[in-house]
Amino acid sequence: MESSTVLQSGDLNPPLAPLRERLSWALYDFANTVFSMNIATLYFSAWLIADLGYSNTLYATVNGIASALVVLSIPLFGAISDATQRRKPWVVGFTVIACVAVAAMGVLGQTGLPLVGEGVIDPPPATNLIPTSAALFGVLAAFVLASYAFQGAQPFYNAMMPELAPIDYRGRLSGMGTALGYVGTITGVLLTLPFFTGSIPLIGTIPGQVVGTLRSIVPFTTHGGRVSTFVPTALLFLLFSLPLILFCRDHNVQLGKKLVTWRKAFQDVRRTVEDAKKYPGTLRFILTSFLYQDALGTIVTTMALYAIYAMGFTKGSEATLLLVLTIPAIFGSYGIGRLVDRFGPKRTLSWVILGWVFLLIAMIAAPTRMSFWIVGAAIGLIFGGISTAERPLLLSLVPDMEAGRFFSLMVLSSRAAAVVGPFVWAFAVDGLTPSLGVGTAYRVGV
């Protein structure tokens, strides 16, 4: 498919794929939110900053490096994907890389860094098997690789959607994926809590024999703590990705090219912005997405820290908080998907963004933990609305067969936001803490 050819959005408009394939596709949202919650939101930042004592700036730096790598490479891979009409190999490849890298974080964190923090029991004496500086560098490098691969899989996963559903069903399919994603969030947290603290909210402390058995089965989890959740997270991410790996396929390979040169791919990338001008509203939407992704991406990655330092939650209880606040997101995401099919993705996305603005202001002003819980539950209802409405909106603007390039172009916007947002947050929090105190500094950061 030559990039100069102007197609219409919805050019494929296929029949509805079998339920098994649609469900297998949606379950990948379930799988990757295990990673995004456990690594990007809940455990890694709190382990690095609250347990090991490193700065917000260091965390922002490694996040920025991962995002920069995505910006530099994913549009090129998206052009190749469009030319060959192959999406699944990219999703599978990036997923495997992310799983291996997360497991490496757990191994290096357990063997070369201090075993300290909430949930750690009977830490062994330091062995110096791996020098601390080398282990820290290895953990940070593995996190960069894991974050890069996780982010890199997303545009190709999204580009599979137009092959599975006609135009008037895509909101529901997107909403189903997002809703299952939040089920994955809850499942991932519940299944890793035995390795973290040995207890589960609403159930209580797990019998020591059960915890001991689990930790003896899964390597590098013996002593608990946040670092012990990394290897289980890698295994869960891979396990729940298996339905997509086994039951989904690329439907339009026969329409693509068997071989694409790197030169042709680079040419397609250079023309992508110009091509976006052929489809009214596309470039404006992608540029606008930077603004809300900048804010929301930062909130997601720092929510655990905000709960600890601004609202006074004890270290370790932030897992319970985020777990409970995720429950409304399951129902809200599917409901927003139905709104997309009824009122259109653009109008629905506008409503969701306005809701976010109002509720973030309310969160900053929340004076007590109870009011924070109430605002958080309301945020949960619209939490998945961005991705639920965003995917059908972009597909309504561009041709289905060029979805890989344009979802990759959206990555440029979202990853630029992912670089800017955490640094603004880090400079605000680290810079204002000495004068305003940590709690106020975190509120200003939001």
With contact defined as beta carbons under 8 Å apart, do 277 and 61 qualify? no
The first and second tokens of residue 392, run together, are 């059908």
With contact defined as beta carbons under 8 Å apart, do 85 and 253 qualify? yes
Least confident segment among 203-207, 228-232, 299-303: 299-303
More confident position, 126 or 58: 58
Tell me, what's the pLDDT at 3? 41
Asked whether residue 388 carries a pLDDT value surpassing 60, the answer given is: yes
First-to-final CA distance of the chain: 44
Sign of CA dihedral 362, 364, 368, 372: positive
Non-local (6+) Cβ contacts of 256 within 8 A are: 1, 82, 83, 84, 85, 86
Tell me, what's the pLDDT at 7? 44
Backbone angles phi, psi at 4, to 5 degrees: -80, -10
Non-local (6+) Cβ contacts of 126 within 8 A are: 114
Model pLDDT for residues 63-92, shown as the tens digit of each residue:
889 988 988 888 888 888 888 889 999 999
Least confident segment among 148-157, 187-196, 275-284, 387-396: 275-284
Asked whether residue 375 carries a pLDDT value surpassing 80, the answer given is: yes
A 10 A CB-CB count for 61 gives 17
Alpha carbon dihedral 298, 157, 14, 264, in 10-degree steps, equals 110
Closest C-alpha among 93, 122, 109, 108 to residue 47: 109
The first and second tokens of residue 252, run together, are 């339009």
Query: Per-residue confidence at 21, pLDDT binned at 50, 70, 90?
Result: very high
Average pLDDT over residues 340-368: 88
More confident position, 390 or 263: 390
With contact defined as beta carbons under 8 Å apart, do 168 and 144 qualify? no
With contact defined as beta carbons under 8 Å apart, do 179 and 331 qualify? yes
Mean pLDDT of the chain: 84
d(CA 10, CA 1): 15
Range 19-445: architecture per CATH:
Up-down Bundle (1.20)
In the chain, % of residues over pLDDT 90: 33
With contact defined as beta carbons under 8 Å apart, do 272 and 405 qualify? yes
A 10 A CB-CB count for 170 gives 24
**Do β-strands 204-205 and 199-200 pair in parallel, antiparallel, or remain unpaired?**
antiparallel
Model pLDDT for residues 93-139, shown as the tens digit of each residue:
999 999 999 999 999 999 889 988 888 888 877 666 788 899 999 99
Please tell me whether residue 398 adopts helix, strand or coil conformation: coil
For residue 366, is it left (φ>0), alpha (ψ between -120 and 50) or beta?
beta
Please tell me whether residue 379 adopts helix, strand or coil conformation: helix
Least confident segment among 83-92, 177-186, 349-358, 419-428: 419-428
Least confident segment among 46-55, 116-125, 144-153, 321-330: 321-330
d(CA 242, CA 147): 20
Model pLDDT for residues 404-441, shown as the tens digit of each residue:
888 888 877 777 776 677 777 777 787 878 788 777 77
Non-local (6+) Cβ contacts of 334 within 8 A are: 172, 175, 176, 178, 179
Backbone angles phi, psi at 204, to 5 degrees: 105, -165
Asked whether residue 287 carries a pLDDT value surpassing 80, the answer given is: yes
Tell me, what's the pLDDT at 137? 96
Model pLDDT for residues 191-217, shown as the tens digit of each residue:
998 999 887 766 677 888 888 899 989
Q: Write out the H or E segment, with its range, that includes residue 200.
A: strand 199-200
CA angle 59, 356, 95 (to 5 degrees): 45
Highest-confidence segment of 210-224, 225-239, 326-340, 361-375: 225-239
Domain boundary assignment for the chain = 19-445
The first and second tokens of residue 92, run together, are 């599978």
Strand partners, 199: 205
Average pLDDT over residues 305-331: 74
Query: Per-residue confidence at 5, pLDDT binned at 50, 70, 90?
Result: very low
Tell me, what's the pLDDT at 446? 67
Asked whether residue 40 carries a pLDDT value surpassing 90, the answer given is: no
d(CA 363, CA 365): 5
The first and second tokens of residue 60, run together, are 């922002």
Average pLDDT over residues 132-154: 95
Tell me, what's the pLDDT at 209? 85
